Amino acid sequence: MTEAKPETAAATATGPPAAASGETAHPRRFGGWLARWGASCTLVVLLAAAIIASVLGGHPDRLPAVALGSPLLLYATKAAAFFLLGLALVVVLARAFQHGDLPIEITKDGLRWEDVRQVKTETDATVTALREAVERLEKLGAAHDARMTVLEEMQDLILEEME
């Protein structure tokens, strides 16, 4: 069995070692961890919070029909409802921060966002049309400047002849 060098063991445990010149670890390392484990950790915390909220909420003396006479089933139902509401909130916030869009419709069937590809296509078409309009305006401006130059020259000639 070969022994790992101390430098290699540290690199394996914590990622690549920082350079001797004082460089820090790769800047996207934390982002990679967050991408890998962030969603899982969020779901675990959300589930734990839903269960705790359900238990802390207690139960009435007379259980509703959905509980089928079992306080445990009532707690599970309330926890599921809290979890799903929390999940919907997390999804909306995550998309708002990542893509900058909010749902355009919230119904009993779920959330609906605008089709990003359609918006991109429409935006690209608008940008192209605006660029063409700017080019036409620049050409018209150049033609206007040329006409004004001719008119000013003609005015100068007329003024010279009148003197």
Q: What is the pLDDT confidence band of residue 34, given thresholds at 50, 70 and 90?
A: low
Higher-pLDDT residue of 156, 32 = 156
| pLDDT top residue among 79 and 32 | 79
Is 60 in the same domain as 119?
no
**What are the tens digits of pLDDT across the range 108-128?**
887 777 777 777 788 888 999
State if pTM tops 0.75.
no
State the residue range of the domain holding 136. 115-163
Instruction: Say if residue 120 is in the same domain as residue 62.
Output: no
Q: Are 103 and 143 found together in one domain?
A: no
Same domain, yes or no: 36 and 105: yes
Number of structural domains the chain divides into: 2
| pLDDT for position 97 | 80
DSSP annotation string for 104-125 = SEEETTEEE---HHHHHHHHHH
- How long, in residues, is the chain? 163
Domain stops at, among 88, 113, 138? 113
Whole-angstrom Cα distance, residue 27 to residue 16? 12
Q: What is the mean pLDDT of residues 5-28?
A: 45
* Residue 163 per-residue DSSP state: -
Cα end-to-end distance, the chain, whole Å: 110
Round the average pLDDT of the chain to a whole number and report it.
77
Within a domain: 130: yes
pLDDT, position 12: 42
The reported pLDDT for the residue numbered 90 is 84
Q: Which two tokens stand for residue 91?
A: 């999804």
Residue 85 C-beta-side C-alpha neighbours within 13 Å = 11
In a domain, 19, yes or no: no
Given a cut of 50, is residue 44 above it in pLDDT?
yes
Instruction: Assess whether pLDDT exceeds 80 at residue 14.
Output: no
124 and 104 within one domain: no
Residues 6+ apart with CB under 8 A from 15: 25, 26, 29
